[in-house]
Chain A
């Protein structure tokens, strides 16, 4: 255990970030099981899980900052994840539309707002 020498408020902040991050990761995976169609299921891992991993990485960055070993490597990995998650979601949507073109939703017309 290498996070022992934190002040109390820092430990509380890290614990809150870890709890929020784990909750978001769990909600994203639950959405993957719960939703009914592929385009609904895509929302869970590509948004909620990415935010959860971001919170966990931020907590690790705070721990290494208070231990005097701040290097920004966690933040670089966080930046890489936040850049690549939309790209992989876009590729998956294009692959799913290519496999089943009949499942493409109708584009919103002028009468769909009423």
Chain B
């Protein structure tokens, strides 16, 4: 049965459309927390895209890249949020 090789490009397309929608909100704004939220959605969507790409290609799932994107995305979101809250990162 060859179900997954037919399905996986469509899953990639849906995830790319989701990333494009988040990118629209990133460019549109209108406030700064909206843009940070769009960046948050973008890294989560990129994580899902990387997982599906790892299933699709023959090189396997890239755990190191997934862990790096997850960690850096979370730290970046929290750092930007703290920056908006305090006006400064290190007090």
Contacts and interface: CB of A to CB of B under 8 A. Distances in A.
Whether both chains belong to one complex is answered with yes
| Interface SS, B side | helix
Interface string B1-37: 1111101100100110111011011000001111011
Contacts of A95: 32-33, 36, 81-82, 84-85
A38 B33 contact: yes
| Interface SS, A side | helix
Contact of B70 (A30, A33, A56, A81): A81
Contact of A41 (B34, B44, B63): B34
8 contacts: A32-B21, A41-B25, A45-B44, A53-B48, A60-B55, A77-B47, A92-B33, A99-B32
Interface of B: 1-5, 7-8, 11, 14-15, 17-19, 21-22, 24-25, 31-34, 36-38, 40-41, 44-45, 47-48, 51-52, 54-58, 60-61, 63, 66-67, 70-71, 74, 77-78, 81-82, 84-85
